[in-house]
Amino acid sequence: MIKKEMIAMLLAGGQGSRLGVLTSSIAKPAVSFGGKYRIIDFPLSNCINSGVDTVGVLTQYQPLRLNTHIGIGIPWDLDRNIGGVSILPPYEKSTNAEWYSGTANAIFQNLKYMEYYNPEYVLILGGDHIYKMDYEVMLDFHKSNNADITLATIPVPMEEASRFGVVITDDKRRILEFEEKPPKPRSNLASMGIYIFNWKVLRQALIDLSEQPGCDFGKHIIPYCHERGDRVFAYEFNGYWKDVGTLTSYWESNMELIDIVPEFNLYEEFWKIYTKNDVTPPQYIAADAVVERCIIGEGTEIYGRVYNSVIGAGVTIGKNAEVHDSIIMKNTEIGDNTKVNKAIIAENCVIGFDSELGVGEEATNVKFPKIYTDGLVTIGEGSVIPNNVRIGKNTAISGGTTLDDYPSGQLKSGESIIKAGDLR
Amino acid sequence: MRAIGIILAGGNSNRMRELSNKRAIAAMPVAGSFRGIDFALSNMSNSHVQKVAVLTQYNSRSLNEHLSSSKWWDFGRKQGGLFVFTPTITADNGFWYRGTADAIAQNLTFLRNSHEPYVVIASGDGVYKLDFNKVLEYHIDKKADITVVTKRMADEEDCTRFGLVQTDEEGRITEFQEKPFVVSSRLVSTGIYVIRRRHLIELIEKSMEEERFDFVRDILVRYMSVKRIFSYEMDSYWNNISSVEAYFKTNMDFLKKDIRDFFFRQYPDVYSKIDDLPPAKYNPGSAVRNSLISSGCIINGVVENSLLFKKVYVGNNCTIKNSIILNDVHIGDNTYIENCIVESRDTIRANSTHIGENGEIKIVVEKNERYGF
């Protein structure tokens, strides 16, 4: 007989459109982070470190990279005879075929998966946060309160609370009220989008609301359960927790890793973060190279100068090239003499030589003023940038570009060249 | 593939000095993030040899730990797999492995129960990439009884520690001298052999009857005139790590771009056990030049012409020159290290100096003061 105390459902289907060209051809949870990881490694590692060995990963948007990354779950020890990791894409049924229309709808369409494991509790997770959290401690809290639903929450500065969904609780942490992005927040406990449900409660709520279009946990399921009088509690988490939903927050949280003693420390033996390693060799720093305040992944070769940057695996930085305050992902090449300033360059890009990225005065991005901000240059996966071009700030490039795409060898601040991917 | 593999990893050599106190040569860390045996295992796996036996004897704890799962080299299969054979006491044998031939003899059942027609025998101390299928084709083509993979060594290399081979124009081995005093040839045996499985069983059984236990002396040399023993000369990089000097040189070879490209950036890859270490971190005060740095390292000092293996911590104001720092070493502030090999898991106290003088490589073995008792 199969019986699991708690299984996890990890929502990894979102595009994360605020990450611009970074997610134009991969789902957000598959985006690289911190030199060798992908965002989804954090919740997956948290699961196995918390003793949750059965994880359903719900995919929808551009799942190829995610699928190859997760495989059968070997890096996380999630290759199990019973349980382990399962990828759950939307599928066709005899009566209809529908995409996952909301977070709860996605879970609803996989009721059978959960029933198979016969759990007591179901843990609902997102795939877009960087944190280390012991879900078992949260489960203990859930049990000791005899709760039906427990939400993980984190205290945020009061002045920022209006950007979050906050909860108001009594002194026993039972939730009295929810406020979604309140202009005048009455509490600073923000919901982290992590829930533990009693399986029976979850199952019934999903069935009750199955007709709800775009059924969502935060908008529909939790309020529904709360209104009918279920015991809903707020678990307070006090560790490092970072949303990497925007390019700026993504860039910042990468940069925090290079602090001398980073707040989010990957070097502790306790609570390791696991990832699929397909590059093992050491990195090479050449005789005339300079590396200062950086973290660098396996197999990378540095011939130029790199300052305050997060460099992935298998990267080559050419002679006399200079990189400042940037994130450069796996297998990308930076040509000789090229200068890179405050850029996010995704995987498998080729940046030519004698070019400059991130130069000139700042200007608001014309097409996507809310996405490409804070002076960042963002370059999507597999892009090619020719030799001898100047690229301004708040710019985005994706796809193979040639000198013809750069009038007088220049891409002005605030301009974009989008030649590949879904986001146009 | 039509062959099974045997990796002879039992060896130890006093030429490794203090380094062999801790482990067998095959378990020596190499090139920052590998172990000696990874090269033989990866070559087997990449040549589609699916069933491999590793014969170990000398201080195999470290090696067994490295081989605790076969998945890193993709051997965890229903057909085939990775077998680790240490000597055991049985009804009719109570000996340790008395030699390489005896090691195979004590595991003859492994050979008998296989069905693949050929056997590739390799040692665990070679650093190379080789497609064994090419050797096998050559072996069949030459109608050889045994094929020995050989390598022509550069002039500056000390060849007296190898088996030296001379051949006729066809490639047949006419002379084989094991570790001679005077070098008569620069063509050395790499310790890699291809032989028909049934033929190997026969030769080993015969040797055991005669109480002869060494594969090279009692089979290769002894049968040279009556068997067709051929030399397959490999032209890509090969070195072995069974002396401190060779170990040091082989590691330092990885500072050369062509050698790194050959091993790390050309198909096929070399695999190793994954340790899940974070990326290397370069703090203010670090200055790294012409060096290889592995994952998990944290650097606050100067590193020049050196290899830092996994999870090395370099304190403030340290200088490390022309040295090899093995896995999980903690180097305290203001330390100076030159021409050294620092043994793994060492704790080097702050303000210390270690220099290998007169061209000699110093092996630094310090107590580990970080991990309990």
* pLDDT single digits (tens) A354-363: 999 999 999 9
Question: Residue A73: CB partners within 8 Å, gap ≥ 6?
Answer: A44, A55, A79, A80, A84, A85
CA A182 to chain centre: 25
Does the beta-carbon distance from B279 to A34 stay under 8 Å?
yes
Nearest CA in chain A to B308: A282
Task: Please report residues of B whose CB lies closer than 8 A to that of A266.
Answer: 278-279
Candidates B31, B272, B279; nearest CB to A35: B279
* pLDDT single digits (tens) B67-85: 988 989 999 888 889 999 9
Question: Residue B261: CB partners within 8 Å, gap ≥ 6?
Answer: none
C-beta of residue B334 within 8 angstroms of C-beta of residue B350: yes
How many Cβ atoms are within 10 Å of A36's Cβ, its own excluded?
28
Which pair of structure tokens corresponds to residue A31? 């985006």
Instruction: Place B10 in a pLDDT band, splitting at 50, 70 and 90.
Output: confident
C-beta of residue B55 within 8 angstroms of C-beta of residue B103: yes
Closest to B287 in 3D by CA, of A309, A321, A293: A293
C-beta of residue A56 within 8 angstroms of C-beta of residue A110: yes
- The per-residue pLDDT for B1 is 66
Candidates B71, B264, B272; nearest CB to A299: B264
Does the beta-carbon distance from B34 to A280 stay under 8 Å?
yes
| Residue with the two structure tokens 């083509």 | B141
* pLDDT single digits (tens) B313-336: 999 999 999 999 999 999 999 999
Candidates A282, A289, A310; nearest CB to B289: A289
Does the beta-carbon distance from A281 to B255 stay under 8 Å?
no
Nearest CA in chain A to B286: A292
- The per-residue pLDDT for B300 is 97
* pLDDT single digits (tens) A196-248: 999 999 999 999 999 999 999 999 999 999 999 999 999 999 999 998 989 99
C-beta of residue B333 within 8 angstroms of C-beta of residue B317: yes
Count of all residues that appear for chain A in the document: 424
Closest to A32 in 3D by CA, of A344, A285, A358, A377: A344
> What's the rounded mean pLDDT across residues A288-313?
97
pTM above 0.90, yes or no: yes
* pLDDT single digits (tens) A195-205: 999 999 999 99
Residue with the larger pLDDT of the pair A131 and A97: A131
> What's the rounded mean pLDDT across residues A254-269?
90
C-beta of residue A171 within 8 angstroms of C-beta of residue A144: no
Closest to A124 in 3D by CA, of A231, A37, A201, A181: A201
B350 touches chain A (CB under 8 A): no
A318 touches chain B (CB under 8 A): no
B251 touches chain A (CB under 8 A): no
Dump the DSSP string for A275-324: ------SPEEE-TT-EEEEEEE-TT-EE-SEEEEEEE-TT-EE-TT-EEE
Rounded to the nearest 10°, the torsion over CA A309, A312, A314, A315 is -30
Q: What number of C-beta contacts closer than 8 Å exist between A and B?
A: 106
Task: Please report residues of A whose CB lies closer than 8 A to that of B270.
Answer: 280-281
Distance from CA of B210 to the nearest CA of A (A): 46
- The per-residue pLDDT for A422 is 61
Does the beta-carbon distance from A281 to B298 stay under 8 Å?
no
Which pair of structure tokens corresponds to residue B8? 């002879």
Task: Please report residues of B whose CB lies closer than 8 A to that of A259.
Answer: none
Distance from CA of A73 to the nearest CA of B (A): 13
* pLDDT single digits (tens) B133-169: 999 999 999 999 999 999 999 988 889 999 999 999 9
- Compute φ and ψ for A335, nearest 5 degrees: -70, 165
Distance CA A33, CA B257 (A): 28
| C-alpha distances in Å from residue B179, one per residue of B97, B124, B161, B172, B338 | 21, 19, 5, 20, 31
Distance from CA of B303 to the nearest CA of A (A): 10
Does the beta-carbon distance from A275 to B296 stay under 8 Å?
no
- The per-residue pLDDT for B364 is 95
Which residues, listed in sequence order, are joined to residue B53 by a DSSP beta bridge?
B6, B83
Distance from CA of B304 to the nearest CA of A (A): 8
How buried is residue A81: exposed, middle or buried, by Cβ count under 10 Å (0-12/13-18/19+)?
A: exposed
Q: Note the helical H segments in A7-100.
A: 41-49, 64-70
Task: Please report residues of B whose CB lies closer than 8 A to that of A76.
Answer: none
| C-alpha distances in Å from residue A300, one per residue of A68, A327, B260, B302 | 22, 14, 11, 19
Distance CA B118, CA B231 (A): 17
Closest to B165 in 3D by CA, of B153, B156, B157: B153
> What's the rounded mean pLDDT across residues B55-77?
90
Does the beta-carbon distance from B278 to A295 stay under 8 Å?
yes
| Cα atoms in the 13 Å half-sphere on the side-chain side of B52 | 33
How many Cβ atoms are within 10 Å of A83's Cβ, its own excluded?
19
Which pair of structure tokens corresponds to residue A311? 């460099």
Does the beta-carbon distance from A284 to B260 stay under 8 Å?
yes
Does the beta-carbon distance from B295 to A34 stay under 8 Å?
no
> What's the rounded mean pLDDT across residues B119-136?
97
Q: Which of residues 265-284 of A touch B (CB under 8 A)?
A: 266-267, 272-275, 277, 280-284
Name the CA radius of gyration of chain A, rounded: 23
Distance from CA of B95 to the nearest CA of A (A): 39
Best A255, A284, A319, A333 residue to mutate vs chain B (most B CBs within 10 Å): A284
Does the beta-carbon distance from A277 to B278 stay under 8 Å?
no
Best B71, B129, B288, B306 residue to mutate vs chain A (most A CBs within 10 Å): B288
Does the beta-carbon distance from A282 to B263 stay under 8 Å?
no
Best B255, B277, B293 residue to mutate vs chain A (most A CBs within 10 Å): B293
Does the pLDDT value for residue B347 go beyond 60? Answer: yes
Distance CA A418, CA A405 (A): 10
Distance from CA of A369 to the nearest CA of B (A): 33
Task: Please report residues of A whose CB lies closer than 8 A to that of B294.
Answer: 282-283, 298
Dump the DSSP string for B187-241: EEEEEEEEEEHHHHHHHHHHHHHTT---HIIIIIITTTTTS-EEEEEE-S-EEE-
C-beta of residue A8 within 8 angstroms of C-beta of residue A123: yes
How many Cβ atoms are within 10 Å of A120's Cβ, its own excluded?
14
Candidates B32, B264, B279; nearest CB to A295: B279
Does the beta-carbon distance from A293 to B264 stay under 8 Å?
no
Closest to A41 in 3D by CA, of A82, A69, A9, A19: A69
Does the beta-carbon distance from A281 to B278 stay under 8 Å?
no
Assign A337 to helix, strand or coil. Answer: coil
Average pLDDT over chain B reads 94
Which pair of structure tokens corresponds to residue A41? 């490694």
> What's the rounded mean pLDDT across residues B23-52?
96
Distance CA B9, CA B36 (A): 10
- The per-residue pLDDT for A423 is 54
CA B270 to chain centre: 13
- The per-residue pLDDT for A118 is 93
Cα torsion angle, A402, A404, A408, A410, sign: negative
Does the pLDDT value for residue B190 go beyond 90? Answer: yes
Distance CA B202, CA B207 (A): 9
Does the beta-carbon distance from B289 to A285 stay under 8 Å?
yes
Count of all residues that appear for chain B in the document: 373
Nearest CA in chain B to A266: B278
- The per-residue pLDDT for B76 is 84
Does the beta-carbon distance from A284 to B263 stay under 8 Å?
no
Dump the DSSP string for A103-161: HHHHHHTTHHHHHHH--SEEEEEESSEEE---HHHHHHHHHHTT-SEEEEEEE--GGGG
Range with the poorest average pLDDT among A16-20, A66-70, B195-199, B205-209 = A16-20
Which pair of structure tokens corresponds to residue B39? 């090269």
C-beta of residue B70 within 8 angstroms of C-beta of residue B50: no
Does the beta-carbon distance from A284 to B298 stay under 8 Å?
no
C-beta of residue A19 within 8 angstroms of C-beta of residue A29: no
Task: Please report residues of A whose CB lies closer than 8 A to that of B328.
Answer: none
How many Cβ atoms are within 10 Å of A176's Cβ, its own excluded?
12
Instruction: Place A366 in a pLDDT band, splitting at 50, 70 and 90.
Output: very high
* pLDDT single digits (tens) A380-419: 999 999 999 999 999 999 999 999 999 999 999 999 999 9
- The per-residue pLDDT for B372 is 56
Output b/e per residue, A355-364; b: 16+ Cβ within 10 A. bbbbebeeee
Distance CA A345, CA A195 (A): 34
Instruction: Place B94 in a pLDDT band, splitting at 50, 70 and 90.
Output: confident
Does the pLDDT value for residue A323 go beyond 90? Answer: yes
> What's the rounded mean pLDDT across residues B200-206?
97
B5 Rama class: left (phi>0) / alpha (psi -120 to 50) / beta:
beta
Does the beta-carbon distance from A280 to B286 stay under 8 Å?
no
Range with the poorest average pLDDT among A87-96, A350-359, B243-252 = A87-96
Average pLDDT over chain A reads 95
Does the pLDDT value for residue B304 go beyond 90? Answer: yes
Candidates A282, A288, A295; nearest CB to B281: A295
Distance CA A244, CA A256 (A): 12
